Amino acid sequence: MNPLLYFWLFLKGSLFSTGGLGNLPFLHQDLIALGWADETDFLAAIAVGQISPGPNGLWTIALGYLTYGWLGSALALVAITLPTLLALVVVALHRRLEGQPIVQDFTRGIALGVVGLSFGVSWVLFRATVSDWRGVAIVLAALALAASKRVPVIVVLALGGLAGWLLYA
């Protein structure tokens, strides 16, 4: 494996995509074609990304570890961090233009769109993963606990795991 090419493939995936799994199609195509990863690496990496702390995008680090060990995870970490600096340019540009009513409306629209998307994503996830009343009960209980703002997030997740174990095992 060529570390420079490896790093470039990971960097390219982040540079030309957005969101946690946006780089998946790029890495899937490139690493499979080179024979540097197989399907099970991708499935395991994505599963770990869903439960480990931090953004789902850290699945990329799991993939780095599975395909290239510690060096792979370190290269993946740098490759997913560097492109984020471009967001500072967008924010600076926005600040320069934000006095314009048209820019204010556009930004407001994106903000509303983002919140709408988060409900859309929750719905899609719900349809894909919750199949019975037990899942619905856990969703509602977690929603109530989080809305009370008295329970730390890690406790909500631990209770979810405990409920899953009691209800499904």
- For position 48 contacting other proteins by CB under 8 A, the verdict is yes
- For position 113 contacting other proteins by CB under 8 A, the verdict is yes
φ, ψ dihedrals at 53, nearest 5°: -70, 160
CA quadruple 44, 50, 54, 60: dihedral sign: positive
Interface pattern 51-90 for other proteins (x via CB under 8 A): xxxxxxxx--xx--xx---x--x---x--xx-xxxxxxxx
Residues in region 18-47 near other proteins by CB under 8 A: 18-20, 22, 44-45, 47
- For position 133 contacting other proteins by CB under 8 A, the verdict is no
Closer of 32 and 139 to other proteins (Cβ): 139
Closer of 4 and 147 to other proteins (Cβ): 147
- For position 91 contacting other proteins by CB under 8 A, the verdict is yes
Q: Which of 34, 25, 31, 33 is nearest to 66 (CA)?
A: 31
